Structure 1
Amino acid sequence: MRSLTGFRITAQRSGVAIAGTAAALLLLTSCAGSGEPAQEAGAAVAEDCTPLHEFTTIEPGVLTVAAMNAAPKFHALSDSGPFTGIDATLIPEFAAENCLEVKFKPMTGAAAQLDLREGKSDMFGGLILKTPERAEVFAQTEGSILYETLGITSAKDAAYDTVDSLQGKRVGTLSGSYYVEPLKAAYGANNVEEYQSDANAFEDLKAGRIDAVAWQSIQGFNFTDRDDDYVTKILDDDQKYPELTVLLENNWPHTKGNSAMTAAIDDYYERAKADGTVARVLEENEIGEEAAELYVNGR
């Protein structure tokens, strides 16, 4: 079993995950390359900006992003910000090089999926796992911005380190996440509790209403790095439970059929990883070196 319990993964802290559908406008002042941080918010895109790629968006000149509010991937204290986290930097940098303003709409993961599906946003942000099911309704990239795998968060004296070690236990997860159905298949639907926010899931764990939370490891570390009584563990590959232990890929799901946007995102991913942009943003969000290695290069 590979345990990553010592990794530091911290971001702006808040005990409450904010859900909302009102738009929050983040304006970028100019075009920026993937190795160059985006400009300060507060002004329109420069008139002489030349986009690296051209693709259609719901609102011309604006990239509307339904963003899953879950630090350190993306975090907002309110619909109007401030916005922090990994995708709060990467998505604006992608938009800036394509001469687009960004309109972030912070909400739960389930609400964000619905928002994109109903055509109310161009993109689903917050480091979202690629899945065959999502590919049926959304466009997904060929490549990925980060790798990810399941993290099991529990009290330190329990420290569940295999899928089978949680049999008969009550497990929490986030509603709408990739892991919901595989967890129900492994433990039975009656033993899996779905939550709309990561904060609520962790609160129920601390209150003893569930025995563990199974979610993206980066979310688990975000809580256990600041609470010494709890631990997040990553499991080894288990052929008995491939859907729960396989290394997965994060991307930004977007409007299905918008192949030009897909190509633009894939191009950004390739350059952002090659020129160190992704590594820089992980460091800025205090992701530890070993954890960053896993998320960027896999295992």
Structure 2
Amino acid sequence: MKKTLLAIVVAATAATSVNAAEILKTDTASVDFWGQIREELRQKKEDADVTLKSGSSRAGVDARYAASDAYDVFGSIEFNIGDTDSDNFMRKHYVGIDAHEYGKVSVGLNSILSDDVWGAENSKFGGASVLPESGGNYVGWLQQGMIKYEVESDSAWFKLAYSADNSSADYAGGDIGADLSTTEAFAGTSFGAISVYGGGGIYNIDGGDDIKHGMITVAYDADNWNIGTTYWHSKNDALDLSSDSIVVAGSAKVADKTSVYGGYEFIKDFSTEGNDYNNVYAGVEYKLASWARTYAEYATHTQTESTDDSYWGVGVRVYW
């Protein structure tokens, strides 16, 4: 799963919703069909060939009904569009109640909050290594039976989520072991151009071993540029391993439709003790229209316990 700095996430979400195809629209109900087509040409240093991949394309349907002046009911499904049959799977499906200023509650197959919030990140091709589900933790970003509560005001927001009794068969994302439970909470606020947010959680695996994690992000979003930094800490009882990471990322608008971006990631004791990870990336993005953009990126990274690597990639995204 890929994200960017919070300001860019909001912009991308807005672009998707604005261009969504209306299936139904009345005074009290709406059904929208939306999607993202991502095509990427990339090559890693260790690869002999250049690959063309779908780049995590996805589509979905959002439905909402105003049951009264006090609350709405809503539902959403999202599915992955991949290169092979195994890459085509249901990403999310959930239903909920939105009580407006009192917040909304949803339940279903949904992403963990760490993946929703993410932190300071601009890379279109990498950048997930700092997240708790990376580094040998085997925590899937999708969880069955996920209960989420979210509330926001003009300058602050709060998110709380819990899921229980998930197994590796519950989602198409990897091995998480049996009986995984997750509990997470995040909150954020903003002061003009400055935003601060953070939180943490516990993933309980097999009723014994825990993965505990916490993060804080500070970001500054000006008219034509932004910069942010994130600190993560995680402790994996199963691996008897603690890890710390820090990320710095930013972007700047250099022309009417062109922006440059880049970032640096450092992770101490990544996957194993003594394995320090460094990643530097830079890219350029050109906005073809409100519903399409293209980009190019290069990155190089090192690990104490592994061979140095690098990659380049170019891609295009179309939103509706």
- Which structure dedicates a bigger proportion of its chain to strand? 2
Report 1 or 2 for greater relative contact order, CA contacts < 8 Å, sequence distance ≥ 6.
1
Name which one, 1 or 2, has greater alpha-carbon Rg: 2
When normalised by structure 2's length, the TM-score is 0.23
- Which structure dedicates a bigger proportion of its chain to helix? 1
